[in-house]
Amino acid sequence: MTGKPRGALALMYGGAALTVFATLFVFIGRDGLAEHLSTGYPALSPGKIDEGVTLYTVILCAVGALGLLGWLGAAGAARAGKGWARWAAAGLFAVALCFTVAALTVRDTNGEVGLAPLLGWLQVLPLIPGLVAVVLLWRRAG
């Protein structure tokens, strides 16, 4: 990889910012998640709903933290001109895409999507700059 991939870098940092936003929104959307769970499982006690909300919060924060590390690592490798940066970015994009598809489609035992729809769709936001960054990195390599 020759030169600095400025466009791809800007997109990766933008994707990192969107990842932080989607992760922090989990805390804002806790009430919506609790409502989603209580609607899907009306027999659950408020304590059990709270446990479910906490579990989803921990999972989404862990995924967000890993996503942020991935963005920053890929951006650092691209900035340093590492030839493997495009492979790393493509691999990270594939993992993020799989997670997002799962967040939007995996059904819970009640037949409903487990994650509240808004939180699931927020996971799509970082994919957009990620896809464009991967395309730009591969174009530079070609």
End-to-end alpha-carbon separation of the chain, Å?
9
Q: Is the pLDDT of residue 123 over 70?
A: yes
Nearest of 127, 123, 118 to residue 30 by alpha carbon? 118
| Model-wide pTM > 0.75 | yes
Spell out the residues 6+ positions from residue 68 whose beta carbon is closer than 8 angstroms to its own. 16, 19, 20, 23
Give CA separation, 135 vs 7, 8, 34, 67, 111, in Å: 11, 8, 38, 19, 37
If one counts every other C-beta atom within 10 angstroms of the C-beta of residue 24, the result is: 12
Q: What's the CA gap between 29 and 126, in Å, rounded?
A: 18
Residue 14 in contact with residue 129, Cβ under 8 Å? yes
Question: Average of pLDDT values for 57-79?
Answer: 96
Q: Rounded to whole angstroms, how far apart are CA atoms 56 and 60?
A: 6
d(CA 34, CA 2): 49
> String of b and e for 50-88 (b: at least 16 CB within 10 Å)?
eebbeebbeebeebbeebbebbeebbebbeeeeeebbbb
- Give the tokens for residue 98: 């799989």
Say yes or no to pLDDT of 70 above 90.
yes
pLDDT in tens, 1-45: 545 688 999 999 999 999 999 999 999 999 999 999 999 999 999
Write down the pLDDT at residue 73: 97
